[in-house]
């Protein structure tokens, strides 16, 4: 017998970076669990700029570009 797992069982996401929410993110996403998946570093950068991430925090996140290719890995 072959058992094929559901997609949710097949993918395990692991964080490679953590930060506190910006005030704007906290007001929009308060009391809800939210996952965002990005397939490019530029898409991730634009989203984080939209929510007011400081330049220093954004650079710390983008420093992972050399470790993770987002067409192979997903960032949340």
pLDDT digits (tens, 9 = 90+) for 16-52: 888 888 888 888 888 887 778 888 889 989 999 998 8
Q: Whole domain around residue 52: which residue ranges? A: 35-76
In-domain check, residue 22: no
Could you tell me if residue 5 is inside a domain? no
Q: What angle do CA 72, 74, 76 make, to 5 degrees?
A: 170
76 within 8 A of 36, measured Cβ to Cβ: yes
- Residue 9 domain-assigned? no
Task: Please give the model's pTM, rounded to 2 decimal places.
Answer: 0.66
Domain assignment present for residue 57? The answer is yes
Question: Which residues neighbour 49 within 8 Å (Cβ) at sequence distance 6 or greater?
Answer: 58
C-beta atoms surrounding 48 within 10 Å: 20
62 assigned to some structural domain: yes
Nearest to 58 by CA among 69, 67, 45: 45
Tell me how many domains the chain contains. Answer: 1
Q: What is the pLDDT of residue 18?
A: 84
The separation between the first and the last C-alpha atoms of the chain, rounded to the nearest angstrom, is 34
């Amino acid at each position: 017998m072959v058992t094929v797992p559901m997609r949710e069982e097949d993918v395990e996401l692991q964080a490679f970076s953590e930060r506190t929410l910006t005030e704007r993110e906290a007001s929009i996403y308060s009391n809800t669990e939210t996952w965002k998946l990005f397939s490019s570093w530029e898409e991730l950068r634009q989203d984080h700029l939209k929510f007011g991430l400081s330049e220093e925090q954004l650079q710390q996140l983008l420093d992972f570009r050399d470790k993770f290719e987002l067409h192979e890995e997903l960032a949340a």
